[in-house]
Amino acid sequence: MTKPRLILASASPRRLQLLDRIGIVPDAVLPSDIDETEIPGETPRQIALRLAHGKAEACPDRDAFVLAADTVVAQGRRTLPKAETVEQAEACMRRLSGGNHRVWTGVALRSPDGQITTRVSESRVRFKRMSETEIRAYLASGEWQGKAGGYGLQGMAEAFVIQVIGSPSSIIGLPLYETAALLTGAGFPVFGSTK
């Protein structure tokens, strides 16, 4: 039996690394370019699910499984941006410093028959109160670029994290439990039969 093809609809190198942890190497990486503008009244959970679903749907390859994800960092209902400028990153760090926030990662899997299934993972993170020296050093590192909330758990910012309740892989960008469950449920071989 031929192994089905899998496309990762994301340019994130972290998501590739996370898939590799559970023995999955996508056949192709085809990032989906969709409008990520928030819709008024949406909760962070709804945003993460809508964007993951939209990215899976937008992939032009209709003959493969398509895996997509989106991560949203929020304090209450207020979402923090994917930091593109040092000013955005600094604003994020000052908001996160000394407080709690949530990270929502939506995952969507489109099967070759066109059906899309989704899951969402919610994690809670508490940051220490950061000193000016720590904030400046972090901003100078450039690690914040393109990351939801201006940080990645897998880098320097992990030194500011006091507590994580939930899935570390979800905070990095792809919750492995939910991803494996979606793939297995759709009939894609995950454990033991992928190689």
List residues with catalytic annotation. Answer: 70
Q: What is the DSSP string of 4-51?
A: PPEEE----HHHHHHHHHTT---SEE-------PPPTT--HHHHHHHH
Q: Where are the beta strands (DSSP E) in 40-166?
A: 65-75, 78-80, 100-110, 116-127, 161-165
Tokens of 131: 């000193």
Distance CA 98, CA 185 (A): 40
Label residues 105-131 b or e (16+ Cβ within 10 Å = b).
Answer: bbbbbbbbeeebbbbbbbbebebeebe
8 Å CB contact between 98 and 129: yes
Helix 132-141 to helix 86-96 angle (10° resolution) is 140
**Residue 90 half-sphere exposure toward CB, CA atoms < 13 A:** 9
